[in-house]
Amino acid sequence: MSVVYVSNADGREISVLRLDDDGALTFIESRPVDGAVMPLAMSPDRRYLYASLRSAPFAVAVFARDPATGRLTPLSTAPLPDNMAYLATDRSGRYLLSASYSGDKIAVNPIASDGGVGPPIAVESTPPHAHSILTDPSNRYLFASALGGDVILQYRFDAETGRLTPNEPPRVETASGAGPRHIVLHRSGSFAFVTNELDGTVNSYRFESDTGTLTLITSASVLPPEADGPPWTSELCGTPDGRYLYVAERTSSTITGFRIDPATGLLDPLGHTPTETQPRGFAIDPSGRFLVVAGQKSHAVTSYAIDPVTGSLTPRQRLEVGRDPNWVEIVALR
């Protein structure tokens, strides 16, 4: 059994749902926030939930989560350097990482032992439209995508001080006009995958753990054959066992599945699943059995069972949430 957190931007609330072992969804509570809430991030120990408030004054709301019920208790609110479109923590949980699409910057803020967020340690300018940020499993390297610059930025990360230093090379270019958006790392530590928002593709990269750099392997389309309109990919998630990767595409309102070759990082398309209208965010539960997707225009979420043999998605339950749901986090209940 797991708990699902869904941020509802226009509703200014976080929906808390229970995900049962059969894929059923049950409403637990709705937690109001003081702003247009969008990206969420969970601390590595699952004690705290961080929520970016993207209406002025830009801030992060911090919640304690009950490990037995999943309910949220507000703890504090701290200012952020800009309107942050993405949140993550480093692997130690000592730093909050954020990326600003409108402000063209990334930031590192310290996190106290009580979960509170302090003033920024580092604020770095980026090419246009920074859109995601994360550290590698060793916590020695950091990546940030810049959608408008068609680059993935590569940094060395000092986990003792939170400081960033450009790696060598400091960036990896994508195809012109691709628009790199979100990044995930494969559980093996050998590969990374990046959605390209503007050309409807997902890139596979080899991750060199000794240098902290990415090398392009290939690019695969996520668009269904009947796609009509400009590509508009959003989120991507891999299953915990590393076998499957899923990518959301908003124009066609579909989820595209891929089988990951564990030796090469190549992606084998599995098909396209129609889903909630304009799927902005989704997540896979810790067991790897279920995927929950939020539709910005449908104001609802749907849970899907993931077939462990084929990777296909079968809908389990649809549940209405707040207005403009856009981000999903899933955590196992004790």
What confidence tens digit (pLDDT) does each residue in 200-254 have?
999 999 999 999 999 999 999 999 998 889 999 999 999 999 999 999 999 999 9
| Mean pLDDT computed over 317-331 | 98
In the sheet that 325-332 helps form, which strands lie side by side, from edge to edge? 25-32, 13-19, 2-8, 325-332
What percent of the chain is predicted at pLDDT more than 70? 100
pTM of the full structure: 0.97
Pairing of strands 122-125, 130-135: unpaired
Average pLDDT for the chain = 97
pLDDT of residue 334: 79
pLDDT of residue 257: 98
| Mean pLDDT computed over 128-157 | 98
| Closest to 171 measured CA to CA, from 143, 148, 193, 199 | 143
pLDDT of residue 226: 85
pLDDT of residue 16: 98
pLDDT of residue 227: 84
Report residue 169's pLDDT band, with 50, 70 and 90 as the boundaries.
Answer: very high
Taking a C-beta distance cutoff of 8 angstroms, is the pair 286, 245 a contact? no
Checking 97-103 for CB contacts under 8 A at 24+ apart, the result is: 97/133, 97/134, 97/135, 97/142, 98/52, 98/60, 98/133, 99/126, 99/130, 99/131, 99/132, 99/133, 99/144, 99/145, 100/130, 101/129, 101/130, 101/131, 101/147, 102/129, 103/130
pLDDT of residue 80: 98
pLDDT of residue 266: 98
Which amino acid is it at 120? P
What is the per-residue pLDDT across 41-69, written as a single tens digit (0 to 9) for each? 999 999 999 999 999 999 999 999 999 99
What is the per-residue pLDDT across 93-122, written as a single tens digit (0 to 9) for each? 999 999 999 999 999 999 999 999 999 999
How big is the chain by its Cα radius of gyration, in Å? 18
Which H or E element spans position 92?
none
pLDDT at 289 over 90: yes
d(CA 38, CA 74): 16
pLDDT of residue 228: 85
d(CA 106, CA 86): 9
CA distances from 73 to 111, 127, 128, 130 (A): 17, 37, 36, 30
